[in-house]
Amino acid sequence: MNKVRTPIEVRYQETDQMGVVYHANYLVWFEIGRTKFIENLGFTYTDMEKYGIVSPVVDVQISFKKPIRYGEDTTVETWVETYDGIRTVYAYNIINKNNDIAVSGTTKHVIVHKDTFRPLSLRKAFPDWHQAYMKQINGES
């Protein structure tokens, strides 16, 4: 399974009054990681969007283990956990400066027509993405 690691610069405005990263910002970091993961496979969201197709989040799971503070070196690690041709579950670890998992989570996605939100099969609509995701699930590079 291919995991893509993306450095994250913790910005002051992402922290709360306790001096730690505000919980909702981890979802933004998940998106940064997911976008880099997709780019690492040779694709972009704009490849889909030019056909009027988007990939909304339909479920999020997140677990907070350790705080991340302003100024820390942080990395988001991203991979495809499950994929069935229709639904894709991306998994994430937010790694702190000590190489500990500070936050972990998943986001589940489908693809839909932008105007109608009618679901589509990724396997049929984007066979090249499907092949790349199947390779990820099967542990191929």
What does the pLDDT look like over 31-72, one tens digit per residue?
Answer: 999 999 999 999 999 999 999 999 999 999 999 999 999 989
What does the pLDDT look like over 113-127, one tens digit per residue?
Answer: 999 999 999 999 999
Cα–Cα distance between 25 and 42 in angstroms, integer?
26
- CB distance 57 to 102 below 8 Å: no
Record the pTM: 0.94
Banded pLDDT at 24 (limits 50, 70, 90): very high
Q: Which of 16, 84, 100, 128 is catalytic?
A: 16
The two structure tokens encoding residue 116: 């109608």
> Residue holding tokens 């988001």?
76
16 part of the active site: yes
Mean pLDDT over 63-90 rounds to 95
